[in-house]
Structure 1
Amino acid sequence: MSLIVAGRFTTFPAAEAAAEKLYAEGFVEEDVNLFFVNPRGQHARHPAHGAVAGAPPGHLASQHHTRNITAGAVAGAVVGVVIFSAFSAALPSVVIAAGVGAWIGARIGASVGARAAARQALAHHEIVHHEMRNSGVLLSVHVCYENQDHAAQLLREAGATDIERASGQWHDGHWADFDPTRAPMPFGEAGRQQA
């Protein structure tokens, strides 16, 4: 694992100016990386299970809702036909029973679909709500124990906010295992926890 110190900037020019200060103080380009962190709730790396790339939001939920209504209508129609056929009812009565059963089944299917969609929306809201990382340009620096305080001080002087310290994978000049949904460990707290 590598030791990483990072700070958040609101613009790329401000982060680039901070990187220049780091270079002037002896940090090398392979140990400094800039990247943008999306706003909370926009960190999905893959489409939701079954989602179609480029499909409008809610497309998948709409398909499930339609399937629930259709399945409910078919089941209701079958139940209506079976019940009225058991009593040797006339054909018009069986057809009416199938229609009424289909209507009731569709209503039940729609209700089930609406509850599932509400649960899914609530789960998404909870994930977004619990993300603690602010969006912006993150300047990350691969450091060692001896120069981590100096890197944090340079970031602070350059105007960085949310300065953090992390243990992660640093490969080919960037923070390879950065997880935007994981809460950052503020630099001062990270040092106190290790003491």
Structure 2
Amino acid sequence: MSTIIAGRFQLQEDVDRARRALADAGFDAGRISGFYLTQPGQHDQTPIGGDHLQSPGAKETPEGVVQGVATGGAVGAAIGAATAPVTGPLGPVVGGLVGGHVGSLFSFSKMKERGETEEGSTENRVPPREAGMLVAVAFDDGDGLADKAVDVLRQLGARHIERAEGNIVDGDWADFDPSSRPQLIS
């Protein structure tokens, strides 16, 4: 694996200019990559699309639904049974169904808010990568090449410059994970 320095640009012309500037600064043109990064959640990394099979905020939702249905169903059935002389034999059934439905809404209390970490999570607070044009350059660390790459990208107006490990071959960052959290330099 090589060290990779990447920065985000707004326009395709900026990407082309950055690729030329990095090559002029002595970096191997085959190890410079420029590509568009889509919005978080739209990276199509699962068979059904998106970045995750389950929404990170809904991790505890199935447990909440089961708890809510059980509790609401029991309470509704009890109320229905108590009103059976008035409602007849369907009272406990209808009460249980209505109670189960109302109780299932309890699951919303188990969902986390946007930006809130999961309980016990070691998730860092670095935000995900924003959409935009990325230029990345790979090199074998040494001789201050990381500082040189950062300086070139900064001079060209790159934002969200980050450091990563990976492989860029023939202009393609082959092992890039768009949903990973960046190690921001600036």
TM-score over 0.5 (shorter chain): yes
Find the aligned partners of 1:33 and 1:116 in 2 and give their Cα distance. Answer: 44
Find the aligned partners of 1:3 and 1:41 in 2 and give their Cα distance. Answer: 26
Q: What is the count of residue pairs matched by the alignment?
A: 161
- 8 Å Cα contact 1:5-1:187 kept in structure 2: no
Q: Which residue of 2 aligns with 1:115?
A: 106
Q: Which moved further from structure 2: 11-20 or 164-173?
A: 164-173
Find the aligned partners of 2:54 and 2:157 in 1 and give their Cα distance. Answer: 43
Q: Which residue of 2 aligns with 1:177?
A: 175
- 8 Å Cα contact 2:12-2:133 kept in structure 1: yes
Write the deviation string for residues 28-49 of structure 1: whole angstroms up to 9, x where unpaired: 3321111223334545622465
TM-score by length of 1: 0.60
Q: Which residue of 2 aligns with 1:143?
A: 139
Find the aligned partners of 2:79 and 2:155 in 1 and give their Cα distance. Answer: 76
**C-alpha RMSD of matched pairs (Å):** 4.0
Find the aligned partners of 1:166 and 1:154 in 2 and give their Cα distance. Answer: 17
Q: Which residue of 2 aligns with 1:23?
A: 23
- 8 Å Cα contact 2:7-2:134 kept in structure 1: yes
Find the aligned partners of 2:167 and 2:116 in 1 and give their Cα distance. Answer: 28
1:68-87 equivalent positions in 2, closer than 5 A: none
Shift of 1:159: 0.9
Q: Which residue of 2 aligns with 1:168?
A: 166
CA, structure 1 residues 183+105, in 2 after alignment: closer, same or farther (shift >3 Å)?
Answer: same
Which sections of structure 2, spanning at least 5 residues, go unmatched? 56-60, 118-123
Which sections of structure 1, spanning at least 5 residues, go unmatched? 52-60, 85-92, 189-195
CA, structure 1 residues 29+111, in 2 after alignment: closer, same or farther (shift >3 Å)?
Answer: farther
Find the aligned partners of 2:98 and 2:153 in 1 and give their Cα distance. Answer: 59
Find the aligned partners of 1:97 and 1:130 in 2 and give their Cα distance. Answer: 56
- 8 Å Cα contact 2:9-2:133 kept in structure 1: yes
Find the aligned partners of 1:116 and 1:45 in 2 and give their Cα distance. Answer: 27
- 8 Å Cα contact 1:7-1:140 kept in structure 2: yes
Find the aligned partners of 1:37 and 1:26 in 2 and give their Cα distance. Answer: 26
Amino-acid identity (%): 29
Find the aligned partners of 1:42 and 1:125 in 2 and give their Cα distance. Answer: 18
